[in-house]
Chains A and B, each alone.
Chain A
Amino acid sequence: MTTILSISGLTKEFGELRAIDELDFQLEQGTVHGLVGPNGAGKTTLLSILVGLRQKTHGNIQYGVSENRVMLLPDTPDFFPFLTTREVVDLARYPFRERVDIGAVDKVIAEVGLEEAVDRRVGGFSRGMKQRVGLATVLISEPQLLLLDEPCSALDPFGRREVLDLVSGLKGKTTVLFSTHILSDVESVCDSMTVMNKGRVLYDGPIDAFTNSDTQSFEDLVLDLLTTDSNNQGEK
């Protein structure tokens, strides 16, 4: 398998606080990789650094693809309220207009289930609908590495299922780094995962290897790992 993203010794400091602490991590092409951890684990900071919205303190990041094929969907996407869904997605297409045809706009909008809201202004949309528009804006750019920051956090169970199916459908075509704290989502769509706490990696590997237990559920295993780490940190 080809490595699409390779991170070594990545550190991000905000004054005294180390949000990411000597992170080493690799991502294989075509996989859906979960990034799991509690609030403050450093997931969003990591994703922001990967797309250049924040600057690393030190460490190396190497991409196996062109950096303009890396796209991020933030956890609470927001758009110009005076534009319609079609206009927002078309604006997102504009920088990639040489490789993405205008016809793709409506196709992507249908893919995320917003056909009926195609000509409605996004200003009045619910968080869930904005999340779908957000998905459309990242999919239109045909990314090779897609970074999703808690994409299901604002969605109802049906919407969540649709997004998870959409992410599953990207397997093999696009590499997805999927940040979430909904553990069941990771178990259902991801091939591999990284568990983070306070900027450090606690586990990095396939889901199967992690759940190799008959007695404990996936969620219990993750929670145990995080609790043990937090206790160890407290003792230090």
Chain B
Amino acid sequence: MNLWKVELFHLLRTWRGWTLSGVFLLASLLAVLIGFLIHRSSGSSFTYDQTLDLYTLLAWPALLLWIGIAASSFAIDSNKERSVFLRLRFSLAEILVSKSIFYFALAGTLWLAGFAITFLLGLVIYDGSHQINLGWFLWGLFFFLISGAFSTILILFCGALFRGAVASVLVVLGLNLGIPLIASLLIFLELLIRGLTHTPPIEWETVSYIARGLLWWPPATYDGVVFMSVTPSEIATDTNISIGQALELDPYFRMKPLISSVILMPAMVLFGWHRYSKREV
């Protein structure tokens, strides 16, 4: 028995692992089902890459559940006795590194498994004549991995800030959901004040100062996953269409949150490490 197996058993022997897998699978099946309904109602040709775009959106609830599960696991000192058991036998490095790698790999594996299921079902059910571009797919995957790494480190950071699991979970969820929600409201107010309410949402990032500021918020790297389903027809028009939104096919899309993620991640790890090691049990 080692720390890796403890994390695995924690998932497999409780509701956590099965629920999380189920929600990812549900996102995958819903993407295919919604695709089917759109296909039937509009009568237009529905391509399998569009189901992948739907999946990236529908996987959000599963990712939020993952955040909750990981954040409660990182709150190692929330139960004093279990914390004593671990801290007396394992170094802090062993505990935190095993948790970080485990939960990063877990999110990646489940998300990509859901993506693969959607891909295969979409390919069978819908128009599969266009191939996904490998170069863009890898670029999108890179953004996804950076987003996952940042989320894992954010969870570690919040686990270091608070001893209790509830506070840690709420703050991580608050940062992931609250900041975009509050920013959206502020963007609307800003546009209202400046008399620019007619601006289409796609242009907010260039018109609104708050939207431009929000582009530096690290979790925005997740938007880069839209590159994982770029087809040759999209490359030809230099436009990526994702869930009805047309975006310029720009490799520097979400470069700003990528830079802030790369800068913030080591700082958060160092701060978290310092707090965990100074904490008295």
| Chain A residues engaging chain B, CB cutoff 8 angstroms | 48, 51, 53-55, 71-72, 74, 76-80, 82-83, 87-88, 90-95, 121, 137, 141
Q: What chain A residues lie within 8 Å of B84 (beta carbons)?
A: 53, 72, 74, 77
CB-based contact A54/B1 at 8 Å: no
- How many B residues touch A, CB cutoff 8 Å? 19
Known interface pairs A80-B10, A82-B14; A55-B89 also in contact (CB < 8 Å): no
CB-based contact B81/A95 at 8 Å: no
Q: What chain A residues lie within 8 Å of B79 (beta carbons)?
A: 78
> In the complex, what residue of chain B is closest to A105 when comparing beta carbons?
B1
**A87's contact among B1, B81, B89, by CB below 8 Å, is which?**
B1
CB-based contact B88/A78 at 8 Å: no
Q: CA of A141 to CA of B88 in the docked complex: distance in angstroms?
A: 11
- A-B contacts, 18 listed (Cβ < 8 Å): A48-B281, A53-B281, A54-B280, A54-B281, A72-B88, A76-B81, A77-B84, A79-B81, A79-B82, A80-B6, A80-B82, A82-B9, A83-B6, A91-B1, A91-B2, A94-B2, A95-B89, A121-B13
**B85's contact among A79, A87, A121, by CB below 8 Å, is which?**
A79
CB-based contact A53/B280 at 8 Å: yes
CB-based contact B81/A83 at 8 Å: no
CB-based contact A77/B81 at 8 Å: yes
Give the contacts of B20-37 with A (CB-CB under 8 A).
none
**A51's contact among B1, B3, B13, B88, by CB below 8 Å, is which?**
B88
Q: CA of A78 to CA of B83 in the docked complex: distance in angstroms?
A: 9
> In the complex, what residue of chain A is closest to B85 when comparing beta carbons?
A79
Q: What chain A residues lie within 8 Å of B281 (beta carbons)?
A: 48, 53-54
| Chain B residues engaging chain A, CB cutoff 8 angstroms | 1-3, 6, 9-10, 13-14, 79, 81-82, 84-85, 87-90, 280-281
Q: CA of A224 to CA of B76 in the docked complex: distance in angstroms?
A: 42
Q: What chain A residues lie within 8 Å of B14 (beta carbons)?
A: 82
Q: What chain A residues lie within 8 Å of B89 (beta carbons)?
A: 91-92, 94-95, 141
Q: CA of A74 to CA of B85 in the docked complex: distance in angstroms?
A: 9
Q: CA of A183 to CA of B243 in the docked complex: distance in angstroms?
A: 73
Sorted nearest first, the 10 A-B pairs with minimum C-beta distance are A78-B81, A82-B13, A90-B1, A91-B1, A53-B281, A54-B280, A95-B89, A87-B1, A74-B84, A94-B2
Q: What chain A residues lie within 8 Å of B82 (beta carbons)?
A: 78-80
B78 CB to closest chain A CB (Å) equals 12
Q: CA of A95 to CA of B94 in the docked complex: distance in angstroms?
A: 10
CB-based contact A82/B10 at 8 Å: yes
B96 CB to closest chain A CB (Å) equals 16
B239 CB to closest chain A CB (Å) equals 49
Known interface pairs A82-B13, A82-B14, A87-B1; A77-B87 also in contact (CB < 8 Å): no
CB-based contact B1/A137 at 8 Å: no
Which residue among B10, B87, B280 has the maximum number of chain A CB atoms within 10 Å of its CB?
B280
A13 CB to closest chain B CB (Å) equals 12
Q: CA of A72 to CA of B84 in the docked complex: distance in angstroms?
A: 9
Q: What chain B residues lie within 8 Å of A78 (beta carbons)?
A: 79, 81-82, 85
Q: CA of A156 to CA of B165 in the docked complex: distance in angstroms?
A: 33
Q: What chain A residues lie within 8 Å of B90 (beta carbons)?
A: 95
Known interface pairs A54-B280, A92-B89; A74-B81 also in contact (CB < 8 Å): yes
Q: CA of A90 to CA of B3 in the docked complex: distance in angstroms?
A: 11
B108 CB to closest chain A CB (Å) equals 24
Q: What chain A residues lie within 8 Å of B81 (beta carbons)?
A: 74, 76-79
> In the complex, what residue of chain B is closest to A77 when comparing beta carbons?
B81
**B88's contact among A71, A76, A88, by CB below 8 Å, is which?**
A71
Q: What chain B residues lie within 8 Å of A90 (beta carbons)?
A: 1
B103 CB to closest chain A CB (Å) equals 16
Which residue among B2, B10, B82, B88 has the maximum number of chain A CB atoms within 10 Å of its CB?
B88
Q: What chain B residues lie within 8 Å of A121 (beta carbons)?
A: 13
Q: CA of A78 to CA of B14 in the docked complex: distance in angstroms?
A: 18
**A55's contact among B1, B2, B280, by CB below 8 Å, is which?**
B280
CB-based contact B6/A91 at 8 Å: yes
> In the complex, what residue of chain B is closest to A86 when comparing beta carbons?
B1
> In the complex, what residue of chain A is closest to B280 when comparing beta carbons?
A54
CB-based contact A83/B1 at 8 Å: yes
